[in-house]
Structure formats: structure tokens, C-alpha cells
Structure 1
Amino acid sequence: MSFSSLPIIDLKADESTIVDSILNACSTTGFFYIRNHDLFNAQQHMFELSKEFFQLPSDIKENYTIRTDNHGFIRRGKENLDSANRKLIDEKEAFNIAQAVSRDRLPALFAESNNYEFITKFYRDCYDLCMKLLVYIAKGFDIDLDYFTSKHKLEIEPHNIIRLLHYPPVTERSDESIRAGAHSDYGSLTLLFQHEHKSGLEVLDRSTNSWHPVEPFDDMIVVNFGDAFEYWSKGFIKSIVHRVVMPVVDSTKDNERYSIAFFCGPNDSTLLTPIPSKLILDRQFEKDEHAKHALDLDNEHVLTAGEHLAMRLNKTYNY
């Protein structure tokens, strides 16, 4: 299994095949596709709402500017995901939707009754899919089936976000046109929905320092692990670094891009301590350069998921 050909996991396969395939992805690519996820129609409607929102005038969108609770609008040029290179600015705009946010903090488009109900259901369906994957991962590590799900309770400090992303069209390509800087995700699992076969997502093989494209398929969700799993597994699972760049072919033609991410994160008080699995019992956590930058460098004290999230967000935004 290599970064040049990411694994595809069929959720209609038998359970043992799914568990073994995910465990293999854990120890190799950290990125994989899932098919037969039953969210295709919902994601199409979510993309329609996303496009409608991003076409609104800037002054309307900026009425909902992001706050310290990680909910709201991020205008183009406001965010830099590559915290190791402070000179870069991401060429994108986004809207983060937090769980159970009050409707008065949502744009009228999203607050409209039918749309609000739909978004709430989409959020819950994404969460339920992540919980299903977390059970498979627990089975692979031969630990209690609720080990991970018990750390992602919706009623306790939830840190799950739907992120709508818009990469505006660019007429002139530049080597510095990074649409989303190189970064790892801050939580546990990410579901990424790509759209209209628009490319640009790349994943880094940290062992060779080489980038590989993640091909877009409308009918498959891309899944990747975040920082929490690198802590929990003592580096057995890498929090995979990825970025979005301009497409190589016809990069100045029809290059506008939309995507949707669902970030699943542990509850604030969750300790980022190693899981009780025989697979990693004798493993030494040797951090590479990315882990030294993104994670707690010296393990001077046990971090909670909330502390880690605050640290990463502080490097990303200036509120």
C-alpha cells in the first residue's frame, strides 16, 4: 500500500475485511477512500448550499466572521494553515459550522427552516459515520469497542465542525499559489467530500518528503487521521500532512474548487495518552520534524485534546 495508490474501503464488505483494511491504512498511508457510505445525495445538496453562500456579497458573509469558538466565516487571505511558514496565505474562503450553533449566528440561507434541518441531519450523519469508523479502529487495535467513541460524546464539549470550502478561480498560476497550506488536522478523523472531479489535494509521505495527488471521486469520501491519533498511537498512526495546490493540467482554466470537510474531534478533557493496545505497547514515540512542530515537543506534561486544539488554532488565526 503506497501514497501513489490510496486504499479504497468498501463499507458493504464483511467486517473483518473492513477492520483489516483500516488497520493497514493506519500503519501506512493514513489516508484512504470509503465507498458505499450512503451520503452521496446529501453531499450534493450540501454543495448546492455552499455554492449559494459563497456567491453572496462579501459584506454579507463578513457579518458572520469566525470567533474563538471556531464557528463562522473565514475570508480569503485570513487563514494560514502552514504554521511552519508564516509568509504564506491560503487562497481560499471557508465557513465553519459548529454543532448546535444558534440559528441567529447562521446566515439566513442556512438558518431557513428546511436548510437548518438538513444541515443538522448532515452533521449527525457525518458524526455517526465517524463513530462507526472509530469502532472499526478499536477492533483493529484489539481494545474496548467504545474506547474511542466514549471520547467523542456529542453532549460533552463537542469539537466537530462542518467546514465549507471555496477556492476562487485563479487566472494566473504562480508557484506561490497555495490554496491551502501544508498541515495536519487537529482532531481525530476527517471526512472530506470532493466535488466535480476538481483536483488539487495532495498528501505528504513524511518518510520520503514527497507529495502525492489525492484524486477526486464524487462517490467516495476521503478519510484521514488527525493529531489525536498520532498521540494515542505513539506515532504508529501518522497525522498525515496535506495541502491544496493549483491543478497541474489547465491550471488557469475552470479551476474554481469546492470541497466539504467534517472534522471529528475528541472532547476537551480527553487525555492524549497512548491507547492500551499490544500493538504499540513497546513502541517508542520518535517524533519527526512535523510532529516536533505540530505536537507537544518534549512531552513535558500530558495534554488534553482541548489544550492541543487551542494551541493549533492559535497558530492558524489572528482573531
Structure 2
Amino acid sequence: MAKVAKIPVIDISSNNDQEKVAKELVEAAIEHGFIYIKNPGTAIIPQDAIDKAFEISKKLFNAPLSEKQSCSIQKNNRGWSGMQVETLDPSTQRVGDFKEAFNFGPFQNSQASQPLPPTISSDQPSLSTFQDFCYSLCLKITTLLGIGLSVNPPDFFAKAHLRSTGPSGTILRFLYYPPSSSIPDANPSSDVRAGAHSDYGSMTLLFRLKGQVGLEILTTDNQKWVPVPVTPPGTEDDPTPPILLNIGDLLSYWTNGLLRSTVHRVVFSGEDNQITREKTAEQEPRYSIAYFFHPVGTTPLTPVPSERVKNYVPDGQEKGNGNPHAERKVMTADEHLQMRYVIS
């Protein structure tokens, strides 16, 4: 491994030219699929809200096993999943992922719509607030993507994600990766903490703690794994670390593959420490938070009203054949999600 991922850092705050920002976002989504979103102070998501979310996450995963098991994950994709329950890349993994996870569905009036461990019951208002911040940021980004793609109307994507119009597959997920020293059957040189995969929805917001490396993406040019720094070059002095955004399968499908859904994984820290120059205490646990943003489930994934999307010809297809996106069966957001569950 000889480099780190080249992922653009973009400031989407209202102080900047939104037309220019929108075009930068689109180009980054096309070329990389991953984007760092600068988080200056309280302009995007307040750092204290992020800190509080990680504090709650640590409380949750330190809760008694019986509490977590009583909230085990259900068919609606909400709840707790234990160590090695999930296997994201069964074709190459000898064992399941070395992680625990807890998925939160929507909150109503600051109350969860699912059972929660009593340990974090009093934290529901903070969880609800953090989820609202993530939702608002994703709505802004989908609007900017519409502007950057010259979609008519530009809020085409944003309207499809309005939670006031119906339920969706959107999930807030807390993740815990134990230190390798506490996993006797793990082989850090060959096993992974989370197998190779692409995300299912429109986009994902990812929050990580400084020093807790391990995320890698698969490059499209030479098909190599490269580490994704928590603090990319040029942001070391920022008061708030950037938020990592990646495009999901649904939005890639919806734009006929124009926007890239990039394969990624989480490995045990090692060589990437030397490359990113970020220090990880391997004997400490790793935490991350993901917000998976989905359209309302009944949304039909009809052709996007954008000339750029319409005229895009995916690799491997002949020019002049038109956009096959308009020819294939139009499915709903929920149908696309279920399709991904089946084939993953």
C-alpha cells in the first residue's frame, strides 16, 4: 500500500457560492464517491452534538449483554447485532465481522420508535437531536446534487427524502469494534473488522474519532485498497473534523451509475498508521457512527430529469444506444433496498 485515498474536502456552508459548491460535489461524487464535508464550528453539525453521540455509543456498548440482547435486531433493521453476526463480504471472509452494531429508526417527539437498552433510555432527546442534524445535512446535500446535475426541479432528490411524506429505510447506526487483544480467534493480518461492501441507500454520513483509523476504499483505477484518513491533509487545524460522506447504491442506480458507490471495508489498524501518520492504540476499542439516508420507501426511482444523467453512457455500453435507465423496470426505494438485502 503506497498512498492514501484522494478524497476532496468541500465546504458547503452558505458563505460559499452554492452553484460552485454544487458542481464540486457532483464531480467528487462522480470521480470518487467519497467526499469530506468541512464542518466549521456550528455551521453544519455542532461538535458537542457529535461528542454526545459518541458518549452515548460508549454507554450503549458497555451496557449489560442482557440489555442489548433484549433489543436484538429485527426484520425492520432496527436493534442490536452482536459480534460476528453480520458478514458483509461472505465470499472472502472466513468468519463474520468483528464488530457490534445498534441501528436506530426514527424518533417521534424525541422518543424512539423501538425498544432501547435502559442504560441509554434517558438519552433519547440527544439521539433525536443528533439524528435531526444528520437529516438536515443530507437534505442540503441532495439539494446541492440536484443543482450540480441541473436537475429540473433542483429539489427532485430532496423531495424524495422528506420524512414528513412517509417512512423510509433511513437508519442511524452506532458501531463498536473491540481491540484485537480481546478477540483470541482474530487474525489481524488477514481478518477484517467489517467486510468489503458498498452502502445501500442514497448516501451515508460517517463520523469517526481522531486516531481511530482502519477505513479503506477500493480504488477504481488499479483496484487497490487505500486508507481513508480521519483527518485529511489540510484539516489538521480545523476546530471540528470533517464529516465523511459517501454515495450509496440507490443514488448510483438512480443516476444510472453516474454517481459512484464505492466499495469500502474496515481493517485492523496497521500499515495505514504509517501512511496516514495517525496514531491508533490497537489495544483500545474503535467507535464510529453512520447515518444511512434513504428516500421515502414508496418513492419510484423514475428517470432523473437531468440532461447529464440522461446522456451518461456507463462504461461497457455503446454510445448511441441511449440511456438504458429509462428502459429498465422502475422500482420503488423499498424494492431497491430489499433487492440489496437479497444479493448481499
TM-score range, shorter-chain basis?
0.7 to 0.9
Once the two structures are superposed, the pairs formed by residues 1-319 of structure 1 within 5 Å of their partners are: 4-12=5-13, 13-35=16-38, 36=40, 37-85=44-92, 87-100=94-107, 102=112, 105-112=115-122, 115-143=123-151, 144-155=153-164, 156-171=166-181, 173-217=187-231, 219-248=241-270, 249=273, 253-286=282-315, 301-314=329-342
Report Cα offsets for 1:106-139 as digits up to 9, x if no partner. 1113322xx1111111111100100000110000
The alpha carbon displacement at 1:261 in A equals 0.5
The alpha carbon displacement at 1:102 in A equals 4.3
CA distance in 2, matches of 1:88, 1:206: 26
The alpha carbon displacement at 1:192 in A equals 0.2
Q: What SS does the aligned partner of 1:281 have?
A: helix
CA contact (8 A) 1:170 1:252 kept: no
CA contact (8 A) 1:187 1:226 kept: yes
Structure 1: gaps spanning 5 or more residues: 289-298
Q: What SS does the aligned partner of 2:24 have?
A: helix
Of all paired residues, the percent bearing the same amino acid is: 34
Report Cα offsets for 1:244-280 as digits up to 9, x if no partner. 0011148883342100000101111222343121112
The alpha carbon displacement at 1:32 in A equals 0.9
Computing the radius of gyration from Cα coordinates, the structure with the larger value is 2
CA RMSD of aligned residues (A): 2.3
Number of matched pairs: 303
Q: What SS does the aligned partner of 2:311 have?
A: coil
Q: What SS does the aligned partner of 2:54 have?
A: helix
Please say which of residues 261-270 and 67-76 is displaced more in the overlay: 261-270
CA distance in 2, matches of 1:122, 1:140: 27
For normalisation by structure 2, the TM-score amounts to: 0.81
The alpha carbon displacement at 1:205 in A equals 1.5
CA distance in 1, matches of 2:90, 2:312: 28
| 2:128 partner amino acid | T
Report Cα offsets for 1:201-249 as digits up to 9, x if no partner. 0111233211121101361100000011211211111111110001114
CA distance in 1, matches of 2:212, 2:4: 19
CA contact (8 A) 1:83 1:315 kept: no
The alpha carbon displacement at 1:286 in A equals 4.5
Please say which of residues 144-153 and 305-314 is displaced more in the overlay: 305-314
CA contact (8 A) 1:141 1:279 kept: yes
Partner of 2:235: none
CA distance in 1, matches of 2:281, 2:112: 40
Q: What SS does the aligned partner of 1:280 have?
A: helix
Change (3 A) 1:104 1:5: closer
CA distance in 1, matches of 2:8, 2:104: 29
Change (3 A) 1:300 1:134: closer
Change (3 A) 1:268 1:103: closer
CA contact (8 A) 1:71 1:98 kept: yes
For normalisation by structure 1, the TM-score amounts to: 0.87
Change (3 A) 1:8 1:315: same
Q: What SS does the aligned partner of 2:217 have?
A: strand
CA distance in 2, matches of 1:315, 1:99: 26
